[in-house]
Amino acid sequence: MTAILEINDLKKVYEGGFEALKGVTLSIERGEILALLGPNGAGKTTLISTICGISTSSSGSVFVDGHCIEKDFRVTRSKIGLVPQEINLEPFETVMNTVRFSRGLFGKPRNDAYLEKLLRQLSLWEKRGNRIMELSGGMKRRVLIAKALSHEPSVLFLDEPTAGVDVELRKDMWNIVAELKATGVTIILTTHYIEEAEAIADRIGVISKGELLLVEEKSALMKRLGQKQLQIELQEPVTALPEALQTENIALSGDGSTLTYTYDTQAKRTGITKLLADLAAAGLQLRDLQTEQSSLEDIFVGLVQEKST
């Protein structure tokens, strides 16, 4: 089965010469939820805009369900729904009219039964006759989602769906995403919140300064999170590790004074007892011990810093 979205070495240079995407390559499977994490200005919105046709790419290619976004733009754009980062809505229109307009704009015949189902699902049915300006911020965001889903897309982009949204609504949003996934929609969302990615994504991508630093299964990433580090300070620095301690999960610091032992907390045996026995056997005196658990945040910050130095 081909990937639903195939991005190859996508580059974007804005008019002023700013390189917002420096060759992004990414493949997204049908029906998965991918969360794109990245700091402000990383290029998340640019990436989405380029795929959806709002900005043009400078080089590289994108395929949606096997169709090129430039040559077959009618096919690819019909398959995509986009919820933009900013709340862009016509203030004087009613909810129903804007949603109906979106459906028509995407070439779908009128289907009020489907729109009713959609608005009910998003708790907007009561407000269908209200003008957009009479809605709360959270409702407006849901109108944007309704518009994006009005033409029954198979891929949905959510650009920071929960920015400036209260905790309860955020949970609502997560439920909506989960329901959509259940209907087979592929979802790509951007967020600044690690917990959000953790809560709903199947895979997590980290983007910074126009580069995709990592894309990994959430479970693999979580497994990394399950790892702990034991740091052992030695009384006397050593130049090399004793033979018995030369395994891949033990590292010696540059000055030879600290050993770092990485282990899995979920494993049956952590191997700590054996390590300590080996240290004693090698005649090494310990000054201090400490353990550390890495969080997704650490991995994320580490990756971003690694790239910027």
Partner 1 sequence: MNWTAIKSIYFFEMARFFRTLAQSFISPVISTSLYFVVFGAAIGSRIQEVDGVSYGAFIVPGLIMLTIMTQGISNASFGIYFPKFIGTIYELLSAPVNFLEIVIGYVGAAATKSLFIGLVILATSFFFVDLTIAHPVAMMAFMVLTCTSFALFGFIIGIWAKSFEQLQLVPLLVVTPLIFLGGSFYSISMLPPFWQTVTLFNPVVYLVSGFRWAFFGLADVPIITSLAAIGGFTALCLFAIWWIFRTGWRIRS
- Per CB under 6 A, residues contacting ligand ATP are 14, 16, 18, 20, 38, 40-46, 85
Pattern 73-92, binding to Mg ion, x per CB under 5 A? ------------x-------
Provide, rounded to whole angstroms, the least separation between the CB of residue 24 and Mg ion.
15
Quick one: which segment of 94-102, 203-211, 220-228, 234-242 binds partner 1 (CB under 8 A)? 94-102
Which entry of partner 1, Mg ion, ligand ATP, none binds 75, CB below 5 to 8 A by partner kind? partner 1
Which entry of partner 1, Mg ion, ligand ATP, none binds 108, CB below 5 to 8 A by partner kind? partner 1
CB distance 45 to 34 below 8 Å: no
Closer residue to partner 1 in complex, CB, 24/259: 24
Instruction: Indicate the residue type of 173.
Output: M
CB distance 211 to 307 below 8 Å: yes
Burial class (CB within 10 angstroms; exposed 0-12, middle 13-18, buried 19+) of 112: exposed
Q: What is the end-to-end Cα distance of the chain in Å, rounded?
A: 40
Closer residue to ligand ATP in complex, CB, 50/78: 50
Site for partner 1 in 104-163 (CB under 8 A): 104-109, 147
Quick one: which segment of 89-97, 187-195, 274-282, 286-294 binds partner 1 (CB under 8 A)? 89-97
Site for Mg ion in 17-56 (CB under 5 A): 44-45
Residue 144 CA to residue 138 CA, distance in Å, equals 10
Which entry of ligand ATP, Mg ion, partner 1, none binds 239, CB below 5 to 8 A by partner kind? none
Which entry of Mg ion, ligand ATP, partner 1, none binds 109, CB below 5 to 8 A by partner kind? partner 1
Report the relative pairing of strands 33-37 and 186-191 from DSSP bridges: parallel
Distances in whole angstroms, Cα of residue 257 to Cα of each of 18, 138, 239 = 45, 54, 9
Provide, rounded to whole angstroms, the least separation between the CB of residue 140 and partner 1.
12
Provide, rounded to whole angstroms, the least separation between the CB of residue 54 and Mg ion.
12
Provide, rounded to whole angstroms, the least separation between the CB of residue 41 and Mg ion.
8
Q: Read out DSSP for 117-173?
A: HHHHHTT-GGGTTSBGGGS-HHHHHHHHHHHHHTT--SEEEEESTTTT--HHHHHHH
Provide, rounded to whole angstroms, the least separation between the CB of residue 88 and Mg ion.
13
> What's the token pair of residue 175?
């439920």
Q: Read out DSSP for 182-202?
A: HTT-EEEEEES-HHHHHHH-S
Which entry of partner 1, Mg ion, ligand ATP, none binds 16, CB below 5 to 8 A by partner kind? ligand ATP
CB distance 3 to 32 below 8 Å: no
CB distance 32 to 202 below 8 Å: yes
Which residues here bind partner 1, judged by CB under 8 A?
A: 14-15, 49, 52-56, 73-75, 77-78, 80, 82, 84, 86, 88-92, 97, 100-109, 147
